[in-house]
A and B are shown apart, each in its own frame.
Chain A
Amino acid sequence: MLKAENIYIGYEADKPVFTIPDFSALPGDMVALLGVNGIGKSTLLRTIAGLQKKLSGNLLLDDRDIQSLTPVERAKLISVVLTERIFIDNITVRDFIALGRSPYTDWLGRLSDEDEKEIEKVISVMKIEKLQNRMFNQLSDGEKQKALIARALCQQTSVIILDEPTAFLDFRNKREILNLLRTISNELKKIILFSTHDIEAALQHCNKFWVMTEEKDFCEIDSGPGSEAEVKSKLKI
């Protein structure tokens, strides 16, 4: 279980960007993080991922403090898909995905049979058999996003955090990616947490919504009757 108690996030201790009294997410949850630009969604995601320090409070994954984990321990629990673009010349999609095995491989990064098996499994879950031998740089935006998600999936973490995973995608790709994420969280019992501005798609696919309002309130809303109206009213739309 991913759990927060009174966390302050931001860059300077005396100027927190946002204060969050509490939230929690269980395995199998697909959580959408909603809010206007600049409200602190990426900061929150980065903090949960352990990429930046929280200012205060408790941030726990399965009762362990995320911040005090070693980099390798954390990499086995939380993986990320970010908005920053990746340019690597001459790497095949399969080799790219295999980089996700890094927390498990030896000091030279050699893949064991078990690693190869996991990579095969991820490729079939993501249905990207046809992409695996192509060059990463030659993929379309939608295909790249799938490769990035596959790399994160290879890390075999209980939490996958995605920053605007559908931002560059057309309608069809967007739907496909969200369906895939839904499948991953349902069947592999992972916590999927992603930020998005696409409220309709989020309402359709997620079972939990974290809204960061302009009044600096943090609201946790479970999907159910009336949840759509509540999310929209918090976002003033």
Chain B
Amino acid sequence: MKPQSRNIVLFISLTAVLVLVFILQILLGSVSIPLQNVLTVLIGGHIENETWRNIIIESRLPAALAALFAGAGLSVSGLQMQTLFRNPVAGPYVLGISAGASLGVAVFILAASAFGFSSVHLLSGWSIILAASCGAVVIFFINFIISLKLNDVVAILIIGLMIGGGISALIEILQTFSSNESLKNYVLWTFGSFRYIDLNQIFYMVVVVLLGTVFSLALSKPLNLLLLGDTYAISSGLNIRYAKIMIVLCTSILAGSITAFCGPIGFVGLAVPHLCRALFKTADHKILTPACVVVGGIICCLCNMIASAPGSDTALPVNAITSLLGAPVVIWIILRQKRV
């Protein structure tokens, strides 16, 4: 089969899998609702059982959408970072972007309460996206500048770790000065979850992820050229400074806003691009970006299903699940690098 038609078949099958896990996610839960009713509600129909309808619309659908779009956005953002840094272990979590977004949110929630605003009210809409994105952009720039000086796999990991450490220290200091209520809000947020989002907030997230993905797709050409390294990219006619600033903005907004809503979610952004490169056997960002959307969506939907394992009332932190799945991937990449 020609590579192109092979990729189309692969893409269609993966999309089918995505639809399947998405519906499965809504189907499974502590209250069992028949498939037929779930589908009826999803396509906007009416069902007799009002409780079921509420469970689907108010709780399961937002969580499922959050998982889908968080997975997609984080993976696209990870793909861009790996190309920008020319480093296979770059990703929103490893680079400390999630930590940066946490800091933004922490400063926002905790400081707002110090000035007498209600933090519950603040946890919605654009304000939190802005706070998290600002934090993400600042940390990303710091990281990016350091990486210009020393760029190898281990150095990036260590710097990400150090930045993460420094930030948690800052956050701990902030916490000692904040009210109990805002502290609780913040701690819940850090667990990482697709559950605390309502349909209204989902709207913001979907818009940002969709825009970010389109933006990223539009950056395919510069991203492909950056694979060659800076010098070749410039000699191929790329305005490199402009391209890099655009990529940094795009990736920080994606990672920052997703972290704002779902909390820090580790390793998805790192692992999914590698899965996509291996599946589609390409380095072309025109193909990899949509591939990351679909595969990232599948992975996060699956993680969400594991986290809210059917029948149990207590949900596991999503961050724990993704880290358990993702950490071995990082080790695999490092071992593979040594062989080359």
Contact = CB atoms under 8 A, between A and B. Distances in A.
Interface of A: 49-51, 71-76, 78-80, 82, 84, 86-92, 95, 99-100, 102-103, 105, 107-110, 155
B22 to A, nearest CB: 28
A51 B230 CA distance: 10
Nearest to A161: B235
B277 A89 contact: yes
A90 B229 CA distance: 16
A103 B238 CA distance: 8
A108 B221 contact: yes
User: Mostly helix, strand, loop or mixed at chain A's interface?
Assistant: loop
Contacts of A50: 235
A80 B281 contact: no
A156 to B, nearest CB: 12
Given A51-B231, A105-B221, A88 B237 contact: no
B231 A103 contact: no
B221 A75 contact: no
Contact of A100 (B220, B231, B236, B340): B236
A87 B224 contact: no
* Interface-centre pick from B225, B280, B283 (highest chain A CB count, 10 A): B283
Interface of B: 3, 88, 217-218, 220-221, 224-225, 227-229, 231-232, 234-239, 277-278, 280-284, 286, 340
A78 B340 contact: no
Contact of A71 (B218, B229, B234, B277): B234
Contacts of B232: 80, 82, 86
Contacts of B278: 90
Given A51-B231, A86-B229, A103 B282 contact: no
Contacts of A87: 340
Most chain B CB within 10 A, of A51, A86, A99, A107, is at: A99
Contacts of B280: 90
A147 B277 CA distance: 21
Contact of B221 (A49, A71, A107): A107
Given A88-B283, A91-B283, A107-B218, A71 B237 contact: yes
Contacts of A105: 221
A51 B235 contact: yes
Nearest to A107: B221
Contacts of B235: 49-51, 74-75, 78-80
A71 B284 CA distance: 22
A75 B238 CA distance: 9
A178 to B, nearest CB: 22
A90 B227 contact: no
A73 B238 CA distance: 11
Contacts of B217: 108
B229 A99 contact: no
Contacts of A102: 221, 224-225, 236-238
A71 B224 contact: no
Contacts of A107: 218, 221
Contacts of A51: 231, 234-235
B283 A89 contact: yes
A51 B238 CA distance: 12
B220 A109 contact: yes
A90 B237 contact: no
Contacts of B228: 86, 88, 99
Nearest to B238: A71
Nearest to B83: A88
Given A51-B235, A108-B221, A109-B224, 17 more contacts: A50-B235, A51-B231, A51-B234, A71-B234, A71-B238, A76-B237, A84-B229, A87-B340, A88-B227, A90-B277, A90-B282, A91-B227, A91-B282, A95-B282, A102-B224, A103-B237, A110-B286
